[in-house]
């Protein structure tokens, strides 16, 4: 029961991460291309994007230690030749998502330290964009050839 609740919460927070990341990228693009001022709201968005990603990381770490599908396994392919779920969740998903969150963290910290508004927006746009690409690869979408999960889990 607790595992199902964690999976549901992890699935819900995924959308918060994607939402804040997409909106941050949109704001960074608009700010950079239109030469806008980097406002307190932009700075808060940068900060909350990183916090949301870190919350998701903590949920993922708890799931990694509790879920039978997320145990480390170097057996990448099963008898059918497809990637096994233990390999996907225990290796690929874990490494790619940790990498994405490191990229978000570096991008957030770098943007915070930039002097000009254009550099802040450009830094967010580049780093958050790369992180979003990595996340899109690592999410077990219902249409993914690597591992499939529903858009939103239920109990």
Per residue in 22-45, pLDDT (tens digit) is: 999 999 999 999 999 999 999 999
pLDDT band at 107; cut points 50, 70, 90: very high
Beta bridge partners of 83: 77
Query: Does the residue 151 lie in any domain?
Result: no
Residue 102 lies inside a defined structural domain of this protein: yes
Average pLDDT over residues 114-124: 98
Helix (H) and strand (E) counts in the chain:
5, 0
Please determine, for residue 51, whether its predicted confidence score (pLDDT) is greater than 90: yes
Is 154 within a domain?
Answer: no
In which band, very low, low, confident or very high, does the pLDDT at 73 lie, cut at 50, 70 and 90? low
Q: How high is the pLDDT of residue 130?
A: 98
- Would you say residue 148 lies in a domain? no
Would 150 be classed as within a structural domain? no
Q: What is the mean pLDDT of residues 111-140?
A: 96
**Is 67 a domain residue?**
yes
- Evaluated on CA atoms 127, 118, 45, 154, the torsion sign reads negative
* Nearest C-alpha neighbor of 31 from the set 118, 123, 124, 131: 118
Q: How far apart are CA 115 and CA 108, in angstroms?
A: 14
Range of the domain at 7: 2-71+80-138
Report if residue 91 sits inside a domain: yes
Quote the crossing angle between the two packed helices 93-113 and 117-138, to the nearest 10°. 170
In a domain, 49, yes or no: yes
pLDDT for residue 90? 79
Distance CA 41, CA 146 (A): 37
Q: What angle do CA 56, 59, 62 make, to 5 degrees?
A: 150
Please tell me the total count of domains within the chain: 1
136 Cβ neighbours under 8 A, 6+ residues apart: none
């Amino acid at each position: 029961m607790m595992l199902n609740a964690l999976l549901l919460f992890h699935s819900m927070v995924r959308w918060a991460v994607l939402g804040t990341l997409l909106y941050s990228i949109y704001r960074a693009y608009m700010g950079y291309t239109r030469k806008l001022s980097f406002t307190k709201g932009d700075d808060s968005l940068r900060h909350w994007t990183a916090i949301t990603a870190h919350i998701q990381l903590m949920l993922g770490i708890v799931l990694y230690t509790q879920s039978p599908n997320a145990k480390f396994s170097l057996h990448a392919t099963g008898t059918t030749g497809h990637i096994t779920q233990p390999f996907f969740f225990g290796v690929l998903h874990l490494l790619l998502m940790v990498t994405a969150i490191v990229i978000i963290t570096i991008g957030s910290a770098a943007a915070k330290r930039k002097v000009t508004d254009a550099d802040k927006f450009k830094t967010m746009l580049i780093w958050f964009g790369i992180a979003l690409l990595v996340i899109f690869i690592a999410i077990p979408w219902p249409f993914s050839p690597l591992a499939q999960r529903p858009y939103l889990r239920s109990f």
